Amino acid sequence: MLRELGDWDFLPIYAKIAEMLRSKIKSGDLKPGAQLPTEKELCRLYNVSRGTIQKALNLLVSEGIISRRRGIGSFVLIHL
């Protein structure tokens, strides 16, 4: 959706990562209850720092899309 609006190039990296994860949830690649890759795996996948991944995940938490449990992981709450 953001790509269609032309705002994609102006978004911070963490927002782009959050949008990509949102898209995976929306497409069904990540279903409710599914565990997301670890922060370390996401850092490698997107070639960014842990802080950037944490901001992206926290954005999804604030939107009620995922939940995070320290020492356990991040999980999809809803299907978009």
- pLDDT tens digits, 3-40: 554 566 788 999 999 999 999 999 999 999 999 999 99
Q: Tell me the C-alpha distance between 62 and 36, whole Å.
A: 16
Structure tokens, 67 = 């939940």
Strand partners, 69: 73
Q: Can you give the pLDDT at residue 4?
A: 53
Task: Read off the pLDDT of each residue in 48-64 and give the average, rounded to a whole number.
Answer: 97
pTM of the model: 0.86
| Cα end-to-end distance, the chain, whole Å | 13
Q: How many CB atoms lie within 10 A of CB 52?
A: 19
| pLDDT computed for residue 62 by the predictor | 97
CB 35 within 8 A of CB 73: yes
CATH 3.30.70.100 fits 2-76, yes or no: no
> Which DSSP symbol is given to 70?
T
